Structure 1
Amino acid sequence: RVRNECPDAAIILMSDQVNCLTAGAKVCGDHKPLLYCATKENSETIAETARKAGCSLAVKGKTLGETAEISEQLQKAGLKDLVLDTGARTVRAAFEDQVAIRRASTKHRYKALGFPTISFTCEMTQDPLLETMIASVLVAKYAGIIVLSDLQGDTLFPLLLERLNIFTDPQRPMVVKEDIYPINGPDENSPVLITCNFSLTYFIVSGEVEASKVPSWLLIKDTEGLSVLTAWAAGKFSADLIGAFVKKSNIEDRIKHRNLIIPGYLASTKGELEEELPDWKIQIGPREASHIPPFLRDWQAEV
């Protein structure tokens, strides 16, 4: 059922019975689930199941040392796609094990622990808020897979955002693609706004446009991840570049009017933009994103 209704979902098959895991792996077919789990008692039989099914295999010991021991045995048996579970079900123990595994595998090149880890925060507490807090610790230190008791937006989104912020190259700005973004189902009479491709600016501006309930076209100009004023000061959001982008974007094919709303902080470029885009009316938008909704509700195209 999960395979049919959620074809992109990752599947973890959990059972103490090897024959159940074998049957489950056959049903999943090409989805290749994670088999959970190999223990000291069943490692030999479950290893054969994982090998035949071509699936990843979780390794669980009662301690970190036992987990490493089982991992070594499975590697000798020819299995290389393993996931480690040290059995820790308290915050302190899980944290300490994650750090120990990372140090042993990276600093000391200990191959038995050189695999991703899995943590079950769903088994550490019954409090959803506390579970999310524990998960946030393990996102940073250094769990590869975190199993939650439920997937709710108010708990999942902060964890995904944390992961995004941690595992991002700080030397590369977070950007969105240069493009035309339709918001609220715009048509040929909808307003056209333009801003930079710094991701924070995009998400704030697009969020306010969406909140306005006004169908709009949002043009995103590549400024190499710089904010509006920074990009303007660096010469990456100047009138000539904006004019060239507007022409190249072919937004004219989607609208009847010729009105372009620019960020309020670029008011000084209005005259230059009118020279670059002689057929367009340049309108100065709000300086603050929070003022966008009332601005759009009162917006009228200039003839």
Structure 2
Amino acid sequence: MALTGIQIYKFLPKTNCKECGHPTCLAFAMKLAASQVELAACPYVDDEAKQALEAASKPPIRLVTVGAGEKKIEVGNETVMFRHEKTFVHRPGLVVRIKDTASADEVAKTVEEVSGYSVDRVGMTFGLDGFAIQNESGDAATFAKCVEMVSSKTDLPLILMATDPASMSAALDKVSDAKPAIYAATKDNIDQMVELAKKCSCPLAVLSSDGLGELAELTDKASKAGVEDLILDPGVRDFGDSLVALTQIRRLALAKRFEPLGYPVITFPGEGASSLDEEAVLAAQHVAKYGSIVVIDRFSPALALSLITLRLNIYTDPQKPIQMKPGLYQIGEPKETSPLCVTTNFSLTYFSIAGELESAGWPSWLLVCDTEGLSVLTAWSAGKFDADKIAKTVKGENAAEKISHRNVIIPGGVAVLRGELEEELPDWKIMVGPREAMAVGGYLKENWK
């Protein structure tokens, strides 16, 4: 049973050292009770206290891993209902379903398209995360052959979908080392599926369409039998019922600490949709509202892009802006006579100015200062983007070695820094650029000779 903040406080050193990042031990205890911090943040907790506080520091939703290697899917470990309360931790896996009744050419084409799809957003590359292979044929040999084929053509994680234990066993014989997820254990086959999950050390999805009560009974049975890495499927598919069920599961796990439902959830938006457009909308709902693995039936670049973008927007830490690595970047193929522009390392700021320079046809050197991910005006007002910072970055990145001139363009929003920067860089001409990135092309055309 979870401990209250006061109960946790009794086990803490009560020194108020602030090394945990909180002003008092009591404040830390309250955050720990709400699963908003890790016990490890306190460096002075003894072994006896650690053991007593294990339940309080344990995430209410278990972390489950599908697959092995660098491309594994990690889901769960969430501690809040809403992103603004702290942050969401593990973004949902986006998985494409393949049925074993499809021809070999169709399977190969889908695997190639999905595995090869990628999109660049704010300096990072994203793609889809895996495949769910369904035993639509009902034949164990056909299923195993399809699983083996997909596995040979991709290193993305797999979810094996079969309710017949014999078919599942045949497929696992081919790919068990890749640690696929087993889908699904039901009230009719749970004993056999549990044994397969234990034998292969694979995560097990548990399915019940008869309410959360039965689903909890099945997960409790699997857990007591020795399978801890579980994934929930509440068996609901349409918009309203899936929203209600997934929200109830999250609330029960977080607010009530109801351990039988403290696991990630898998969803199938294609089964609740009548068209690709409906599937896209329902998949988006599942990304936003508590789906951990979202299995889509049809791959299209447009659908993938929309879901990846939505997921990126939701599953970033609102307290930690997406940042670029400080440094000197080449936009296009700049020469020694090309412009040298300065900006901050807030990703959106960087890509705004970089995109405008590129689209305007101005190969340039773009000097990115470390402002801890803040935009130009925010960083300036916080004292993190000043003349001293710009000058140190110009010198530290050896910008003078890349160009034959000594002209540097600062954002128009911080024109006030010009005088101070002239003192810091006496051999340089400080030029004040436009306030908005969209005007940089016209500015350079008029001012860069």
Please state which band the TM-score falls in when normalised by the shorter chain. 0.7 to 0.9
Q: 1:281 corresponds to which residue? A: 429
Q: 1:144 corresponds to which residue? A: 292
- Distance in 2 (alpha carbons) for counterparts of 1:39 and 1:108: 25
Query: Structure 2 matches for 1:2-41, cutoff 5 A?
Result: 2-7=150-155, 9-41=156-188
Aligned length: 300
Q: 1:211 corresponds to which residue? A: 359
- Structure 2: state its 5+ residue gaps: 1-148
Cα deviation 1:261-290 (Å, max 9, x = unaligned): 221222332333233223433333222111
Q: Is the 8 A contact 2:163 2:185 kept in 1?
A: no
SS in 2 for 1:40: coil
| Residue 50 (structure 1) aligned with residue 50 (structure 2) | no
Query: Structure 2 matches for 1:67-86, cutoff 5 A?
Result: 67-86=215-234
2:208 to 36, 52, 61: 61
Cα deviation 1:87-128 (Å, max 9, x = unaligned): 111111111110111122222222211100011112211322
Highest relative contact order (Cα 8 Å, sep 6+), 1 or 2?
2
- Distance in 2 (alpha carbons) for counterparts of 1:44 and 1:185: 63
Query: Structure 2 matches for 1:103-142, cutoff 5 A?
Result: 103-142=251-290
Task: Note closer, same or farther for the CA distance 1:56–1:181 as it changes in structure 2 (3 Å cut).
Answer: farther
Task: Note closer, same or farther for the CA distance 1:195–1:84 as it changes in structure 2 (3 Å cut).
Answer: same
Residue range with higher mean Cα deviation, 188-197 or 51-60: 188-197
Residue range with higher mean Cα deviation, 220-229 or 114-123: 220-229
Query: Structure 2 matches for 1:126-275, cutoff 5 A?
Result: 126-275=274-423
Q: Is the 8 A contact 1:183 1:209 kept in 2?
A: yes
Letter in 2 for 1:14: M
Q: Is the 8 A contact 2:379 2:385 kept in 1?
A: yes
Task: Note closer, same or farther for the CA distance 1:215–1:12 as it changes in structure 2 (3 Å cut).
Answer: farther
In the TM superposition, what is the alpha-carbon distance from 1:220 to its structure 2 partner?
1.7
Task: Note closer, same or farther for the CA distance 1:298–1:17 as it changes in structure 2 (3 Å cut).
Answer: farther
- Distance in 1 (alpha carbons) for counterparts of 2:358 and 2:189: 54
Identity value in percent: 44
Q: Is the 8 A contact 2:342 2:369 kept in 1?
A: yes
In the TM superposition, what is the alpha-carbon distance from 1:195 to its structure 2 partner?
0.8
SS in 2 for 1:62: coil
Residue range with higher mean Cα deviation, 146-155 or 96-105: 146-155
Q: Is the 8 A contact 1:212 1:296 kept in 2?
A: no
- Distance in 2 (alpha carbons) for counterparts of 1:210 and 1:150: 35
Task: Note closer, same or farther for the CA distance 1:53–1:229 as it changes in structure 2 (3 Å cut).
Answer: same
SS in 1 for 2:356: helix
- Distance in 1 (alpha carbons) for counterparts of 2:406 and 2:299: 45
Task: Note closer, same or farther for the CA distance 1:292–1:91 as it changes in structure 2 (3 Å cut).
Answer: same
Q: Is the 8 A contact 2:197 2:204 kept in 1?
A: yes
TM-score of the two chains, using structure 2 as the length reference = 0.60
TM-score of the two chains, using structure 1 as the length reference = 0.86
Cα deviation 1:12-65 (Å, max 9, x = unaligned): 122233333334334335432112111122211122222222211111112233
- Distance in 1 (alpha carbons) for counterparts of 2:283 and 2:426: 55
Task: Note closer, same or farther for the CA distance 1:129–1:190 as it changes in structure 2 (3 Å cut).
Answer: farther
- Distance in 2 (alpha carbons) for counterparts of 1:253 and 1:27: 56
- Distance in 2 (alpha carbons) for counterparts of 1:152 and 1:206: 29
Task: Note closer, same or farther for the CA distance 1:148–1:256 as it changes in structure 2 (3 Å cut).
Answer: farther
- Distance in 2 (alpha carbons) for counterparts of 1:203 and 1:4: 37
- Distance in 2 (alpha carbons) for counterparts of 1:21 and 1:185: 54
- Distance in 1 (alpha carbons) for counterparts of 2:167 and 2:333: 48
- Distance in 2 (alpha carbons) for counterparts of 1:233 and 1:197: 15
